[in-house]
Amino acid sequence: GQNIDQPTEMTATEGAIVQINCTYQTSGFNGLFWYQQHAGEAPTFLSYNVLDGLEEKGRFSSFLSRSKGYSYLLLKELQMKDSASYLCAVREENRDDKIIFGKGTRLHILP
Amino acid sequence: GAGVSQSPSNKVTEKGKDVELRCDPISGHTALYWYRQRLGQGLEFLIYFQGNSAPDKSGLPSDRFSAERTGESVSTLTIQRTQQEDSAVYLCASSLAETDYEQYFGPGTRLTVT
């Protein structure tokens, strides 16, 4: 079956660093995505990992360990505008590349 | 260029009525997804179209839900005999699939069943 787990909510302070974890158990694996979704808006793409390791893109980095079924999204130098939901999603190789989303982590940034 | 568009943006309907939601994907995108998102919740997969393959309907919650796609263009999601629990935002996304795994989302249709 499919199972993608991430914390429901997190709180962090402006200027700090936060790590949002995601674990998954899926039928085949062909990549993991992170999306950002502000309240009332559609999700927007942040990152895509298919190989083990860390991908850095500005203030955001995403890490993947395929053997552990684990990923994290790291946000540095937090800004108030980073308050949003962060969605972890997995592409399933054995199902014609269907993409399944986790329930998302709501991140609250405090001044 | 044009992104994914959805219509209507908002739909209020009475319980028991049928509704039809439309999605126009980015031209050339072979993959198209429908998701449902209830207030404060994550994205719930509904159905997936990939090229000429049979659609993956495994996420449709009941036989009241159906979806069609004309070739690699517009898709419609139909909900028959709507219930109050169908109230949600229905999001459509498309992607190239072969070379670009990033999904591009439309703005969604907010459905309210009264």
**What does the pLDDT look like over A71-82, one tens digit per residue?**
999 999 999 999
pLDDT at position B98 is: 57
Query: Terminal CA-to-CA distance of chain A, rounded, Å?
Result: 41
Per-residue pLDDT, A83: 97
Is the minimum CB–CB distance between A5 and chain B shorter than 8 Å? no
pLDDT at B58 over 90: no
A9-23, A26-40, A55-69, B74-88 — which is least confidently predicted? A26-40
Residue B35 zone, left/alpha/beta (φ > 0; ψ -120 to 50; rest): beta
Tokens in use for B28?
């050339």
Task: Give the pLDDT mean for B12-24.
Answer: 97
> Rounded to whole angstroms, how far apart are CA atoms A47 and A57?
8
Determine contact, residues B23/B32, Cβ cutoff 8 Å.
yes
CB-facing half-sphere around the CA of A81: CA atoms within 13 A: 1
pLDDT at A5 over 90: yes
Assigned token pair, B34: 């429908």
Give the pLDDT confidence score for residue B1 in this predicted structure.
54
Residue B64: is its pLDDT beyond 60?
yes
State the pLDDT at residue A97.
67
Inspect the interface and report whether the beta carbons of A96 and B103 lie closer than 8 Å: no
| Spatial separation of the C-alpha atoms in residues A102 and A95, rounded to whole Å | 17
Q: Which residues pair with A61 in a beta bridge?
A: A56, A74
pLDDT at A49 over 60: yes
The percent of residues above 90 in pLDDT, for chain B, comes to: 67
The phi-psi region of residue B37 (left if phi > 0; otherwise alpha if psi is between -120 and 50; otherwise beta) is: beta
Give contacts of A7 with chain B, Cβ < 8 Å: none
State the pLDDT at residue A94. Answer: 63
Is a pLDDT exceeding 90 seen at residue B14? yes
d(CA B103, CA B32) in angstroms, rounded, equals 9
Give one DSSP letter per residue of A63-110, joined into a string.
EEETTTTEEEEEE-S--GGG-EEEEEEEEEGGGTTEEEE---EEEEEE
Q: Is B85 strand, coil or helix?
A: helix
Interface check A7 vs B, CB under 8 A? no
pLDDT digits (tens, 9 = 90+) for B99-112: 557 889 999 999 99
Please compute Rg for chain B using Cα positions.
13
| CA distance between the termini of chain B | 37
pLDDT band at B53 (very low <50, low <70, confident <90, very high): confident
Contact check, Cβ <8 Å, A45/B102: yes
* pLDDT value of position B84: 96
Average confidence score pLDDT of chain A: 92
**Of residues A67 and A2, which shows the higher confidence score?**
A67
Supply the pLDDT for residue A26: 80
Does residue A100 contact residue A35 with C-beta atoms inside 8 Å? no
DSSP string, A7-44: -SEEEEETTS-EEEEEEEE-SS---EEEEEE-TTS--E
Test the B interface: residue of A20, A50, A101, A105 with most B CBs within 10 Å:
A101
pLDDT confidence band for B66 (50 / 70 / 90): very high
| B-chain residues near A41 (CB < 8 A) | 107
Residue from the list B45, B97, B108 with its beta carbon closest to the beta carbon of A101 = B45
Decide if B102 and A96 are in contact by the 8 Å CB cutoff.
no
Nearest CA in chain B to A96: B50
